[in-house]
Amino acid sequence: MLKKILIPKVYLPIIYLLIAVLIYKFLCKIVEKALVFNKVTNKKSDLHLKRENTIVNLIKSVIKYIIAIILILAVLEVYGIKTTSIIASLGVAGAIIGLAFQDTVRNFLSGIAIIFDNHYMQGDIVTINGFRGEVIELGLQTTKIKSYNGEVMIINNSSITSVINHSMYDTILFLEIPVSKKVSLLTLEEILNNVAKKVEKMSEVKGNILLLGIEKLNSNNYIYKVQINCKADHHFSVNREFMKCLKEEYDKNNIEVPADYLEINKK
């Protein structure tokens, strides 16, 4: 029994496998350490960090496939199969495989293009082919998107025809606030300034809230426009907080809203 275990064809594949696993983990650690170093020293933006994380995952996948191929060739050598002829014929085999797996190759190339052209990254909110959600996985073959209600769409990278990235740049939120003509402009702007001071404390708000002035004059009211710059795809939470603070200020000053809604426009 011991002699059988000591046969090279038995123990060498196991040793090669262990070495391959150790090398893979070692190389992954190096890649991850490099990314942490960049985070500390360069203080890059969230957008750059997400892009680097995606690229690191891609590099780790490539390392895994390369090590797996080398491992298979080494094990074949142990069993007496000449891998030199296999390597020499890879050119012909590659052409045949390329024809047989055209869709796979297209998905692979599309995945590379998406990552390096920075179309979107894992964690971004996107609309792809009409489906909106968060990118939960970006691979070389497919992209997985999770909608707000939990649906997950898995789409081949080569099938992506249109992309709207809602996380790439900050959102500009415009609020059109209807105000009764009985309320003076001075009173309204004092109220809005009080609201702005509260809302500007939100981490989602970028910079100061701008009071743009009167947008429209109607028969019994006027429309006042406000601009808020906020983090990408956080306009709903910012809007809700603004409306809450505005309602509190209106109640303090006994002001009624002369319309059933406040119109929201977003760029």
Residues 151, 220 within the same domain: no
CATH number (domain holding residue 157): 2.30.30.60
pLDDT at residue 41, rounded to an integer: 46
By the 8 A CB rule, do 172 and 227 touch? yes
pTM of this prediction exceeds 0.75: no
pLDDT at residue 49, rounded to an integer: 64
Residues 146, 184 within the same domain: no
Total structural domains within the chain: 3
Q: Looking at the domain assignment, is residue 93 inside a domain?
A: no
Give the CB-side neighbour count of residue 188, counting CA atoms within 13 A: 21
Q: Looking at the domain assignment, is residue 3 inside a domain?
A: no
Q: Looking at the domain assignment, is residue 110 inside a domain?
A: no
β-bridge partners, 179: 222
Residues 74, 123 within the same domain: no
Residues 24, 82 within the same domain: yes
Q: Looking at the domain assignment, is residue 203 inside a domain?
A: yes
Residue 62 CA: distances (Å) to CA of 30, 139, 181, 253: 14, 11, 66, 64
Q: Looking at the domain assignment, is residue 247 inside a domain?
A: yes
Averaged confidence pLDDT in the chain: 78
Q: Is the pLDDT of residue 5 over 50?
A: no
DSSP state of 176: E
pLDDT at residue 261, rounded to an integer: 46
What distance in Å separates the CA atoms of residue 39 and residue 65, rounded to the nearest whole number? 27
Strand 263-266 relative to strand 210-217, pairing: unpaired
For residue 203, the enclosing domain spans: 171-266
Structure tokens at 74: 């080494």
Residues 262, 175 within the same domain: yes
Q: Is the pLDDT of residue 159 over 90?
A: no
Residues 262, 176 within the same domain: yes
Backbone angles phi, psi at 135, to 5 degrees: -75, 110
Residues 159, 182 within the same domain: no
Q: Looking at the domain assignment, is residue 103 inside a domain?
A: no
